[in-house]
A and B are shown apart, each in its own frame.
Chain A
Amino acid sequence: MSIAEFSWVPAIIGGVLIGIAVVVMMAMLGKVAGVSGIASSLLRPFSAQSWQWAFVLGLLFSGFIVDTLFSPLQIEIEASTTFLLVAGLLVGFGSRLANGCTSGHGVCGLARLSARSIVATLVFMSTAALTVFIFH
């Protein structure tokens, strides 16, 4: 792994930006910025609302703009194609079953002290850590 030593500064700045985004979403649209929920709504492209498309477009753009105009995004993936497929299936299905993911439950839900989100976050953190322990 070639990643640099941990530095808390970009981590906190990034977290603050995420927090601002989430608060602004609630303030302006009154919606939870839960990526899995918004992304899955696009599965029904004609009933999905414009703001949902706009949000996903913004996410896509952030990756595109930084990667194209600034510096290539560092995306280090060791997982094989099979693992990527299985991982994707589980993340997609699991997030819908749980009605949320790291942003929906882990950021927004925790901020509201939602018991459901606290439990969901603890559970997915645990199984994720266990999975890493087993496979990496």
Chain B
Amino acid sequence: MQKISSAFIVGLVFGLGLIVAEMSNPARVLGFLDVSGRWDPTLAFVMGGALIITAAGFRLVLSRDKPLFGEVFSFPSSRRINVRLLMGAALFGVGWGLAGLCPGPAIVGLGALNEQVMIFVVAMFVGMKLFDFWPQKEV
């Protein structure tokens, strides 16, 4: 129960952060990615603000044995920089640049019942599902 309520609050605060930072507005995000046009540095400041907290916070948190309501601190197991990572990031970036939406802001927008975001989210889950058909062999 503690895990569930913590996770819910984390999601809520994360979403509020995205909203306050206007990262839930694709126009704002695209402004940052529009490097040759009227560049909007908002996203850089958002990531900066987050990094200040996480850099210090993670050091503190990870110096403990284990999380409060869990057994271990879990991280992605792979540490390799391989073709999959590069291709995945490249494709993700193209998708992000096409509509200015990525998973977090999309789910927030879905919560706001935005129809265009709904279309994106449906496609996003289809795309995620398609990965299940990708051969698991390491590339």
Contact = CB atoms under 8 A, between A and B. Distances in A.
Please say whether chains A and B are actual partners in one complex: yes
A97 B87 contact: yes
B120 to A, nearest CB: 4
Contacts of B16: 17, 62, 66
Interface residues of A, number: 107
Given A54-B11, A75-B25, A18 B17 contact: yes
B35 A94 contact: no
A5 to B, nearest CB: 9
Chain B's interface size range is: 35 or more
A20 B91 contact: no
Given A96-B131, A119-B86, A23 B58 contact: yes
A17 B45 CA distance: 12
Contacts, number: 487
A36 B101 CA distance: 12
A13 B18 CA distance: 10
A127 B21 contact: no
Nearest to B6: A28
Contact of A86 (B50, B51, B95, B130): B95
Contacts of A40: 128, 131
A39 B12 CA distance: 15
A19 B73 contact: no
Contacts of A74: 22, 24-25
Interface string B10-48: 111111111111111111101101111100111101111
Interface of A: 1, 3, 6, 8, 10-33, 35-36, 39-40, 43, 50-52, 54-67, 72-79, 81, 83-108, 110-112, 114-116, 119-121, 123-133, 135-136
25 contacts: A1-B27, A14-B20, A19-B50, A20-B13, A26-B58, A27-B67, A59-B14, A61-B111, A63-B112, A66-B19, A73-B108, A75-B24, A75-B26, A84-B119, A86-B98, A89-B124, A89-B127, A90-B127, A93-B130, A94-B92, A111-B51, A112-B58, A115-B81, A128-B94, A135-B98
Given A13-B20, A88-B126, 16 more contacts: A18-B46, A22-B53, A24-B9, A30-B70, A35-B104, A39-B124, A39-B125, A63-B15, A75-B24, A79-B26, A83-B99, A97-B84, A102-B96, A102-B102, A119-B86, A128-B97
